[in-house]
Structures are given as structure tokens and as C-alpha cells.
Structure 1
Amino acid sequence: MNGTTPAHGDTIPTATRRTRWQEAGNSESFGKRFADLVCAGEDIDGEARLADTLLPRGARVLDAGAGMGRVTAALLRRGHDVVAIEPDGALVRQARETYPGLPIEERDILGLGPDDGPFDLVVCVGNVMIYLAEGTEREALRTMRAVLGENGRILVGFHLHDRPPHAHAYTAAEFEADLAAAGLHVDLRAGTYQLHPANEAYGVWVLSRAQSASDT
């Protein structure tokens, strides 16, 4: 590795970095596809149903990389206090049109600070992790860890294979190495949001803070 190329997972200043999602320019097609599914009454709540099972009633949730707000809307219907953040302005506008009154902010995960928490659960699904700016994965994980409340957890899901165009080829082993470096523990790994066994196509993780020596 030379002096200008970061190692995998190392922090890169984000102010000058465009996310892979921004590079792909997927906003219009993504938003239209899910808007059509919503209008057709299709089931788009799989992630939210799993998130709901991880929570007490009336929990505080962060939807990190909320897209057009479908997970946020589903969790609000289930009685949770949800904050949604999404850096893509086009998707934020569509979320507000599709779900009037949805509490969504145009913000990046890396712009969060400890004062934004605490949250009982951070939801980071829909391939958000593989569309982050190159080299910011560990920083994003540390940022989400920092806003967790006591006993808080993170729900993550993304494609391991057959990933969308421009998305990062992120293996389960690489991801779990980044989790360890970010101070996170794998409570559960599955292959679907219905908790089918782990597989090589799709990864779903439930994470918590790793216990440090100072915690014991």
C-alpha cells in the first residue's frame, strides 16, 4: 500500500467524498420502483417487522440511510419514535411526498454525533453499507455505535452477491472484521429478514456493543 491509498475500512475525510450511491445516480429509478410497490399494496415491510421484534413498545429508533422512508413509516405505524436520515435530497423529497409528515432529515450517517442518541435500535438496511463512500465503512459503524443507548442494537442488511451496480463488493468476513475494529459484537447473523440460515447471497446482522475490559 502506498502513502495515498487507505487500507480497507480506514477513515477517509468525508467532506470531499461522494458515496457510491451518488456516483451511481440511482435515486430516480429506486424511488420510482418503491413508490410503485407502495401504490400497488405490495409487502415492503420485511425489515421493519424484524426491527419491531427487537424492540419494546414505544422504542426510539434511528433509520440510517432511510431512502424513501418505507421502514420509518412501518415502524411509526407500530408505535415507535423514529428519526430517519437520508443524504440523497431526491429521496428525502419523495419520502415526504409518499408519507406526508414523515420525520426525515437530509443528513449523512457520518454527520451524526453522540448528542443525536441514544437509540434503542439503529436500522441500516437496504444495501446502505455497500453504497457508503469508499473507505468509510468503519467510521460509519463507529458513528452508529456511538448513538446506541444502553442495550441498544444495530440491524444491518445488504447483498453479499448479485449486488446492485456500483455497490461495494463487501464479503461477510470483511464486514465482520470491520465490526470488530469498530467495537461491535455479532449477536446474530442470518440470510434473510425472516431469519433463514446465513448464506452467501445476502447478509442480515443484529449487532451490539462489544464488551471491553473496562465494562467487566
Structure 2
Amino acid sequence: MNEIPPTRWEQWGQSGYKDEFTRLIESGADVEGEARLADTLVARGSRILDAGAGIGRIGGALQARGHEVLAVEKDPELVERAARLFPGLPMLTSDLLALTPASLAATGHDGGFDLIVLVGNVIVFAAEDTEPQLLASLRDLLADGGRILVGFHPVRMHGNARDYPFDAFAADVGAAGLAVQHRFGTYELHPPADDYVVAVLTRA
């Protein structure tokens, strides 16, 4: 594989994200909206990949709901915080572009996920011009009938994130051999909106 470029998240540097969400989790705040929707998309005990897992809040919530979860995160500070907050959550330290069935197998993990969760603006912090490659890499990790749940702000809201209009996202989805099965404006399934995109993807 060619050298993996740095993500927009890496180029941004310290964001305060891990401390903010740690405080919310430890205060008992509800930070599981994405997990509730993800849980409805699969049967109990499904295999789920939390791609760009951050401090593990979604992967941990899905594991608590009875799913077999593998979390993947590149940022070592976030991996360390996830280990403290969710010590039972399997966490693989890797760039998402490096994920392949073979690379997972080399670390003792299988592909064939029933659902891949790519939420919390992960895709708008991907390395420049790698979005179709990222989506294609995740496509190759799906089980038959598997789906990808994506959530992001289409207009830049944070740090070094990109603007990512839905039409541009949909074009990248198609280029990756995927299709948009559903689009919503929130994780509570409100109609499509201009300020947030929730999409469920399938293989084309």
C-alpha cells in the first residue's frame, strides 16, 4: 500500500474532544444517540465495526447492547482514554485506510461485519481526497447484506474538518461501489436536513 497521508484530524491537533466527552460520559449525560439507531439496524449479537471510534462511546454502548464490537482508532490519546472508559471494548490502533480483510486477520480479527459505524464526523476529518478510498475499504469489510451508518455535518463545524455537501458525498459513495439506502437529518430519523447528514449505505 502507498504511504497513508495524515488525516485532517491529525493535522488539526488538540481539539479538547476527549476531555469534553469524558466529562459528559462521567456526568451520566446521554451520548448514545448514534448507538441507538445503529442497534435498530441489526439483529441482537451482530458483528459491528466502530470505525474512528474515538474514546469508545458508541462502540461501548453497542457492546453493552449485546453486540460483538471491534473499535478502530488511530489517535493514541483517544485509544488510551477509551481503554480507561471502556476497558472491555476490543480496540485496534489503525488508520482506517489500512483496514483490509488481511490486515484484520493478521491481528486476530475477522471481517464480515453486519454493520460499520462511521459517525461523529469521522468522514469529514479523513485525509484530503481519500473519502472514496475510505468508503471502498470499509465496503470490503462488510458481510453479505451488511450496511454502513454514516453521520456528519456537511458544512464545516469543527477545527480542520471539510465542507462535504451531500451531493459530493453521494458521488463518493457511488465511486466506492456503494449506494445510499436511506438519508435522514438526525439519528431520530427526521427528514433530510442541510445541517446534518445521517446515511445508511449498502453495496451497490
- The alignment's TM-score, normalised by the length of structure 2, stands at 0.94
1:183 aligns with 2:177: yes
Which letter does structure 2 place at the counterpart of 1:163? M
Matched, 1:53 2:40: yes
1:22-61 map, 5 Å: 22-26=10-14, 29-61=16-48
Matched letter for residue 165 of structure 1: G
Measure how far apart 1:14 and its partner are: 4.2
SS at match of 1:157: strand
Letter of the 2:13 partner, please give it: G
Could you give the per-residue CA deviations for residues 19-62 of structure 1, whole angstroms, max 9, x where no partner exists? 100111135x1000000001110000000000000000100000
Gapped regions of structure 1 (runs ≥ 5) = 1-11, 211-216
Asked whether the equivalents of residues 46 and 193 of structure 1 are also in contact (C-alpha less than 8 Å), the reply is yes
1:68 aligns with 2:62: no
Which residue number in structure 2 is paired with residue 192 of structure 1?
186
Give unpaired runs (5+ residues) of structure 2.
105-110
Residue 102 of structure 1 aligns with which residue? Answer: 89
1:80 aligns with 2:67: yes
Tell me the alpha carbon deviations over residues 126-170 of structure 1, each in whole angstroms, 9 at most, x when there is no partner. Answer: 000000111110100000000000100000000012521210111
Is the 1:185–1:207 contact (alpha carbons within 8 Å) kept by the matching residues of 2?
A: yes
2:194 is the counterpart of 1:206: no
- Partners of 2:2 and 2:163 lie apart in 1 by 21
Q: Distance in 1 between matches of 2:3 and 2:190?
A: 35
Percent identity, aligned pairs only, is: 49
Deviation track 1:45-98 (CA, whole Å, cap 9, x = no partner) reads 000000000000100000000000000100000000000000000000000011
Equivalent position SS for 2:49: strand
The higher radius of gyration belongs to 1
Secondary structure at 1:51's aligned position in 2? helix
**1-structure distance, mates of 2:124, 2:183:** 17
Kindly tell me: are residues 197 and 143 of structure 1, through their superposed partners in 2, closer, same or farther at Cα, counting changes over 3 Å? same
Decide whether the 8 Å contact of 2:155 with 2:162 is kept in 1. Answer: no
Shift of 1:101: 2.4
Alignment root-mean-square deviation, CA: 1.3
Which runs of at least 4 in structure 1 moved beyond 2 Å after TM superposition? 12-15
In 2: Cα distance, 1:206 partner to 1:14 partner? 30
Question: How many residues align structurally?
Answer: 197
